[in-house]
Each structure stands twice: as C-alpha cells, then as structure tokens.
C-alpha cells in the first residue's frame, strides 16, 4: 500500500512540477453530474477545467472517473443521490433522515463523497500529439477511418492540441508528454 501511495505521489508531483516550471495554474470547478462520453451508461461528475498561463487560457470540460464521481447514500443495493449543496453541510444527516430513510442510522451502508480530479488526472489525459492526418490518427489509435465517431474524436483531439501549443512551446510540450 505504501508503494502505491508513493507512486501516486510521484505522478502528482510530476504534474505539479510541470505547472510550476511553466508558470501555469489549473482551475478545477465542479459543473454537474451527468452522462459525459457518448457510450456512458452511468453519470459521472463533470468539471470545468481552465489552464492559465499569463494572460492565456484554455477552458474545457473533464469527465471524472466513475469511481470518484457521485455524492450519494447507499442503503442495500440502492444508491440515493444527494444534493451537492449538502456536501459540507451539517444538515446532511437531517436530509437523509427526512428525505430518504427515517431509520437511516440502522440501514445506511455508506455515504459516497465525490473526489475531485487532481492536476495529474487532468494533465495526463490531454492530447499532446499532432497527427499528420485523420488516417494517421486512426492508424495509430486503432480507429476505423469510415467512422463518424472517430472523426469527431480526431477533431476534438486536434482542437485540444492546438489550444495546448498556444500555451506551451516545444520543450514544454515534451515535458507534458512525460506526464502519463
């Protein structure tokens, strides 16, 4: 367990170092819980992310992992969503008691609190490569060139890459590529 924690710290430190070295900041704001990816079957927490460097900014949305998403109380196999405005509220127990289960003290299995993404989670997911063409993109990532979905993903990746190179030079993009 200690080794896993040290590995996680190493990755987070790598992301924090990148932000420090490039004089960048990252703003992470919860937006909503909803379906994010086209094939999502479960809602996840969606965040508005802003990378800031000097007077330049790049804002985009980020779909968090399902494991870290959601604010709910679980009773048996049933998950009851909780309002996010109660996240740090002293009224949470009363809300559960009055709106979900009066005898909650005896039947509650767990309360799941959301975990916001870290700088590492976000920076590791950014598109750091410039593909020469749609065909090159499909070839390298295993997409079908006849797929409209692949074309949509390619365009989103290309757009993200263009935003990143407007913030960072070649050397800094190489540093960003090391965050995986």
| pLDDT at 100 (0 to 100) | 81
C-alpha–C-alpha distance, residues 83 and 178, integer Å = 38
| pLDDT at 122 (0 to 100) | 96
- Residue 54: helix, strand or coil by DSSP? coil
Q: List the chain domain ranges.
A: 2-30+115-177, 72-112
Residue holding tokens 């508005």?
48
| pLDDT at 134 (0 to 100) | 93
Whole-structure pTM value: 0.86
110-112, strands of its sheet edge to edge? 78-81, 72-75, 110-112
Q: Which strand (E) or helix (H) includes residue 161?
A: helix 148-167
| pLDDT at 75 (0 to 100) | 82
| pLDDT at 89 (0 to 100) | 85
Q: Which residues pair with 56 in a beta bridge?
A: 53
Percentage with pLDDT > 70 across the chain? 92
Residues of the chain with pLDDT under 50: 4
Contacts of 111 (CB under 8 A, 6+ apart): 72, 73, 74, 82, 92
| pLDDT at 2 (0 to 100) | 55
| pLDDT at 1 (0 to 100) | 54
């Amino acid at each position: 367990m200690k080794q896993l924690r040290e590995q996680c710290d190493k990755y987070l430190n790598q992301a924090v170092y990148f932000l420090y070295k490039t004089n960048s900041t990252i703003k992470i704001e919860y937006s909503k819980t909803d379906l994010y990816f086209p094939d999502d079957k479960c809602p996840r927490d969606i965040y508005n992310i802003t990378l800031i460097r000097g007077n330049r900014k790049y804002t985009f949305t980020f779909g968090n992992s399902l494991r870290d998403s959601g604010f709910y109380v679980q009773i048996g196999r049933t998950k009851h969503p909780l309002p996010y405005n109660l996240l740090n509220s002293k009224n949470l127990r009363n809300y559960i008691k009055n709106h979900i289960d009066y005898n909650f003290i005896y039947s509650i299995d767990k309360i799941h609190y959301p975990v916001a993404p870290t700088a590492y989670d976000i920076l590791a997911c950014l598109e750091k490569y410039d593909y020469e063409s749609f065909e090159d993109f499909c070839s390298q990532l295993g997409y079908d060139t006849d797929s409209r979905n692949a074309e949509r993903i390619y365009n989103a990746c290309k757009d993200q890459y263009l935003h990143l190179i407007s913030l960072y030079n070649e050397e800094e993009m190489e540093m960003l590529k090391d965050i995986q």
